Every structure is written in C-alpha cells, then in structure tokens.
Amino acid sequence: MLTNPLTKNIGEPGIVTTLERYLENGGYRGWRKALHMAPDEIIQTVKDAGVRGRGGAGFNTGLKWSFVPRGKDAPPTRYLVCNADEMEPGTFKDRLLMEHDPHLLLEGMAIAAFAIGARRAYIFIRGEYHLAAARLETAIEEARGENLIGTHITGSDFQLDFHVHRSAGNYICGEETALINALEGQRAIPRAKPPFPQVSGLWGKPTVVNNVETLCNIPHLIELGVDWYKKLGRGEDGGTKIFGASGRVKNPGAWELPMGTPIREILEQHAGGMQDGLKLRAFLPGGGSTDFLGPDQLDLPMDYDAVGKAGSRMGTGTITVLDDHTCPVGLVLNLTRFFARESCGWCTPCRDGLPWAVKLLMRIECGEAQPEDLELLREQARRMGPGNTFCALAPGAAAPILSALKLFEQDFNDHITRGCCPYDQERQHIPLAV
C-alpha cells in the first residue's frame, strides 16, 4: 500500500521531479480518471474521505467545494485559487512540495478545478519563494506541452489555464478573502462574510481557495479511493500530513507521517530529540499563531480534534520547540513583533493592539515593567481574541501571549523583580521602540 503519497517523488535535496519522472511514477493517473467522473462524484469522494484543509483551519475540503453554486442558474465563470502564501512562522511544508514535486500540485489543482467547474486556476505564491515559483512555471509549460492542461485536455471538452501570481503582500494574504483582494490588485484586507468566496469571490465569481498541501492530497485519493485514504491515518482523520519541527532539536526538518502521529514520535524519533544539554520546556504545535503546550502533552496525537481539545490548534502541523535555555518572554516578543508588522491595519484591535502588546513585552523583557503590566498585557491580548477582529490574525497573535502568561508566569515575574532578562544577565538597555 502506498503510504507516502505526498513525498514519494521527493528524493535528494535540490532535485526537482520533472514531468517525465512524474509520469513514470504514475503521475496524472488521478487526473485522467477524474476526467471520466462526474464533478459531483469527485466532490462526494473528497467529502467521504474527510480530507481536511492543511492550511490550518482543518475544514472539510469536499464540503467546501460543494458550496459552489451549480445548476443552470449558476454563474458560468468560476475560479480555483491555490493559497501558496506560506508565511506562518516556523512553517515550510508547502515550499517543500512546490520546489520538489510541482506536478503533484498541478494535478491536484486540475482535479479540483474540474470538480467545481473552474476553467482558470491561480497559484498565489509567497513573493520570496522564487525557486518554487520558477519550478511551477516550468511545470505548467511541461504539462501544457503534453496536453495535460490547456484546451481539449487529453481529448476531452474541458479546458483549464494556470497562472502563477507572485504575492507583493504580507502575512494577511494567507486569509482567503485578503488573498482574493490582492489577486484583484486591491489592498490586501479581509472581506466581510457572507457572502463567502464560494458564492462571490474573485471578481465577484464563485471561487474556491485551497492550501498547497490540501490540493496535493487529491490525486492519489481519486486514483486509489476513499478506503485507502482513510486507512493511512491513525485516528478519525485519514490521510497523511507533512509534520515538521524547528527549534533546538537535533534534526529539524519535515516528514510525511500518518495523520494522528503522536507528538512525542515526531520530536523524539524524527527530529532526534533535544540538542545535548537542553530540555524541552514547551512547544507551539502548529506555527507561531497557536497556544503553547507542555511536555505533559507529548503523547497527544497530531490531529485537529485532539490538539484542539488540549487547548491549542494543530494549525500547519509544524512544531516549534522551546528549550530550557531560551527565554519564553523573548520568544513571544519576537512573534508579536512579527504579527504587529504584518497587520493590514483594517481593524482597531489588531492595528493598535499588537503594537501596544509589543511595547508591553519590550518593557518586561528589558526589566522596565511594573507588576500591573502583566495584567495589562493579559487584558490587551484578550481584547484581540476571537470575535473582536475582522479576521484571525490578531486572535492568532494573542494565542502564544495568553498561553505564555499562563505557563511561564514565573518567568514574566522574574523579569520584573530582577530588572532584566534572567536568561541574559549581561543584556544592556533595549530601546522601547516597536
């Protein structure tokens, strides 16, 4: 049984899978099969398999596709957009797929476009991903040359054009409606919902936005079926996932593993455990916008529901570890600086709240805070929480702040009582500018 569908074509670092090699390994078989299926049958297959979005939200992909209007009164123009704007701190899974196996993404997008009736597909890629963008453009030309995309694909009546759009935006473009605005040439700010993009998205037409890894799950699912896909997982969620680990582990990287793989296995077996002389103190399970979890939660399976019940989110599935020689206040300050800089400025809690949180964290980090500043920081983070902002940027930024205040309260207090960072007694005065 094929157990590594996402990475089976990925070999040595620096090697890209060409169309010739991709076809030799069974590439585009799922696409050829899909062209002989009814679109509703494809959507139902994806829904039945329980494919969940790999960008962070974990929404059922087939259900998302089913929201696109169908029937004689539906708009004839529809779009598929691949969200390749991978800017979540500590995350690099989509880059791995695009740089080393671009045809897998193209095949997944082709099937998705056929299922929703889209004849134009866009890859909205992070501007810094120069190599990935170049390899995708080459792959598009290769596929077009073999009539795998374009007009009258493999003798059918279906046609599909691909476009690679290099983002000039920032982190907010990871939010699907801000991405759509940016793709239209507008300011990258989130839109009010409803209407949802599946009904009124790009240029007012029905649009589906899916993450890179999500779309890469589709070809083998269509080829091998729902039962095969479900058996790949270790729990309720089927399929595999590219999990990663960064921080002071012996072997940082990314690995394709069954959905539901325990966190302990990822960190200790695949990442090699902590570097010599260091102990694991906590970790962010799915990128910088998730809540800290502690060593007592290492046996959690990495799936959306289990991590959610533990008080965090699986997010992108890339774990960032915190060791006992790294200052948690400094780590949270670094993350909050990033989110403050990346705010689109559209709503007040995010635009004004994040810079204020940075100032408070700076005071604490350099020992210039008062005890009441901790409660002020906590209250500020709560005001940026879910339901108070236009999108999930500020709530995501608040997650590591609130969880750090809960798990590392003594560290915050030590900064205040000692008048400096306990992890760097020789640190000099740090300016309080954002």
Q: Count how many residues are written for the chain.
A: 434
For the residues 311-327, what does the mean pLDDT come to? 95
pLDDT recorded at residue 425? 58
Res. 426: pLDDT tops 50? no
- Residue 22 token pair: 């991709």
Euclidean distance between CA atoms 331 and 374, whole angstroms: 16
Task: Note the pLDDT tens digit of each residue in 6-51.
Answer: 999 997 777 889 999 999 999 999 999 999 999 999 999 999 999 9
Query: How large is the average pLDDT for residues 385-412?
Result: 95
Tell me the domains of the chain and their CATH numbers. 19-231 (3.40.50.11540), 233-323 (3.10.20.600), 328-418 (1.20.1440.230)
Alpha carbon distance 161, 143 (integer Å): 11
Contact 292, 284 (CB under 8 A): yes
The mean per-residue pLDDT over the stretch 333-361 comes to: 95
| Mean pLDDT over the full length of the chain | 94
Query: Is the pLDDT reported for residue 393 higher than 80?
Result: yes
- What are residue 241's DSSP bridge partners? 257
pLDDT at 235: 86
Per-residue pLDDT tens over the stretch 218-249: 999 999 999 999 999 998 899 999 999 999 99
Phi-psi category of residue 26: left, alpha or beta, with phi > 0 → left and psi -120 to 50 → alpha: left
Evaluate if residue 427 carries a pLDDT over 60: no
Question: pLDDT for 50-97, tens place per residue?
Answer: 999 998 888 999 999 999 998 888 999 999 999 999 999 989 999 999
pLDDT in the model for residue 341:
95
pLDDT at res. 290: 96
Q: Is the per-residue pLDDT at 197 higher than 50?
A: yes
Q: What is the mean pLDDT of residues 243-267?
A: 97
